[in-house]
Structure 1
Amino acid sequence: MADHQAPALNQQIVLVTGGARGLGKAVTEAFLREGAKVVINYLNSREAAEALANEANERAANSAIAIQGDVTDPAAVKNIFDTAKEFFSAPISTVVNNALASFSFDGDARPKADEIDWSRFTGQFEGNVRGAVNTTQAALAGFEELGSGRIINIGTNLFQHPVVPYHDYTASKAALLSLTRTFAHDLGPKNITVNMLSGGLLRTTDASAATPEEVFDFIASGTPLRSVTTPAEFADAILFFASPWSRSVTGQNLVVDGGLVMD
């Protein structure tokens, strides 16, 4: 297909899974700031999601909607897309797979290789891989209607820098990177790009709240920028992959961690 042009950000309808808290909230706010309409998906954080949507709609009417749904459930995901299309009178144009299966970034408390149970792996694979498969498949009809689409997956720099024993989390995100690339190859002829952004520890989200301050300081000292990336900084990088500027970029993994990992 010769024309890979995607809609401008202020013409897009963006689904952010897990979009009410932590990194998801920062992503939601970044897209809203650029004039996009946002579907704020949540599982349990109803109050936070609805408050975020209400604030957005006070600034610009009908710019956001909060929709509950478990991304591991195909029926729930279909409902998210159907409800969003009815609300905005147009299909979702970009999907940000941000929802995180329950996880705390506290290396000292994580089970080591000799004790981790397989159930931890299945839980992470369900949330990170199955969730992305479900949202991608549900998005395809709308992408076809629009003539283009954007899938943006959230990964981790622990692929390249496995300094903490997050075995289950890292393995599932590595599988998501492979899925990103195979889906990019499969869906490219339909003018759909699939990319990943991978960060390190973010300062600070609910998931990283258990991380000791000295760990943040140690990470910052190892980066060229001498800082730990914030959710807002990471979210700004996501905008590139949703924008027309990235129309010829697919199957890529961009590491956004202040230069800690250079790959």
Structure 2
Amino acid sequence: MAARQGLFDLTGRSALVTGAAGGIGSAVAEAYAAAGAGVLVTDVNGDAAAKVAARINESGGKADSFELDVTDRDAADEAVARAAALNGGSLHILVNNAGVTAPAMFKDTTEVSFQRMLDIHLKGAFNCSQAGLRYFATDGTGRIINVTSSAGITGTLGQVNYSAAKAGIIGLTKSLARELARKQILVNALAPLAATPMTKTIRTNEKFAETMLNRIPLRRWAEPEEVAGAFVFLASDASSFVTGQVLPVDGGMVM
């Protein structure tokens, strides 16, 4: 797996990707490895994460895996230490991607469901980001990339819990960007849309699918690999003067 050269070359850098057992997370992990980074593939499903790491290594990349529940702070501490050890003891790239959905109209949304969304999406990003502070490179190569959603920007019907958690991630991103700029650590967020297991219910329901496609100017779903390039951009020297931003990668749905 040859590393890319120039602005998008990540050779010598370490990356930790949460929720990387499939979908966008695994595509990002593979894209980082292709660009030369050493990648720690993490997921609550440790076996699936290990398979992604094995696939990267078989392709000539450098990866390890770790079973990570992002709501567990001790596990987050161990994960960032393992990721940093992949390349010289510094953590260069953290992608807070772990997430789930539990659609329900507001009147049917339980307190347990609401709290679960906050714990996995928002607390998870907090845990991993704060755990990483001891290891982040401060030479301008340190990056935190948080995964939000159009739901966190515009809201969405039947997903108050998910939308609130994703909106919280935007606030976390902007505040961290201001605070960590003094350490030359860049913090940005991506709002991707792709054909993944998480979006399968929408894509396979004829009514929902047509409604969704009507909202996407490009009139199609992206494959996870198509949105991974934006993650490489935000992790690389090409984005060295970009921080505190939310970048939708959704075929023009949010403009």
Same fold (TM over 0.5): yes
Between stretches 118-127 and 166-175, larger displacement belongs to 118-127
Q: Does 1:162 align with 2:155?
A: yes
2:90 alignment partner in structure 1: 91
Residue type at the aligned position of 1:51:
K
Amino acid across the alignment from 1:58 = E
- Give the Å deviation of 1:59: 2.7
Which whole-Å CA distance do the structure 2 matches of 1:59 and 1:22 have between them? 19
Identity between Structure 1 and Structure 2 (%) = 34
Greater relative contact order, per chain length (Cα 8 Å cut-off, separation 6+) = 1
Contact persistence 2:121–2:169 (CA under 8 A): yes
Shift of 1:51: 1.7
**Are the counterparts in 2 of residues 26 and 232 from structure 1 also a CA contact under 8 Å?**
yes
The answer to whether residue 53 in structure 2 is matched with residue 53 in structure 1 is: yes
* Coordinate RMSD, CA, aligned: 2.0
* 1:181-220 → structure 2 map (5 Å cutoff): 181-200=174-193, 202-203=194-195, 205-211=196-202, 212-214=204-206, 215-220=208-213
Task: Give how far 1:148 is off.
Answer: 4.1
Whether contact under 8 Å (1:219, 1:228) holds in the other structure is no
Deviation string, structure 1 residues 133-179 (Cα, Å, up to 9, x no partner): 11111211222565641000000112344342111011011011001
SS of residue in 2 equivalent to 1:227: coil
Checking the alignment, whether the CA contact within 8 Å between 1:225 and 1:258 is kept in structure 2 is yes
**Equivalent in the alignment of 2:114:** 121
Runs of 5+ unmatched residues, structure 2: 1-6
Aligned letter for 2:201?
Answer: A
The answer on whether the counterparts of 1:81 and 1:91 sit within 8 Å (CA) in structure 2 is no
Would you say the 8 A contact 2:27–2:224 is kept in 1?
A: yes
Unaligned regions of 5+ residues in structure 1, if any? 1-5, 105-109
Residue by residue, what CA displacement relative to the aligned partner does 1:62-91 show, whole Å, maximum 9, x if unpaired? x00001121111111111122233454432
Residues 80, 131 of structure 2: 8 Å contact kept: yes
Contact 1:97 1:152 (C-alpha < 8 Å) held by counterparts: yes
Q: TM-score scaled by structure 1?
A: 0.86
Corresponding letter in the other structure for 1:196: A
1:7 shift after superposition: 9.0
Equivalent position of 2:101 in the other structure: 103
Contact map agreement 2:33 2:39 (CA 8 A) in 1: yes
- Residue in structure 2 matched with residue 74 of structure 1 by the alignment: 73
| Greater mean deviation of Cα atoms: 140-149 or 179-188 | 140-149
TM-score (norm: length of structure 2): 0.89
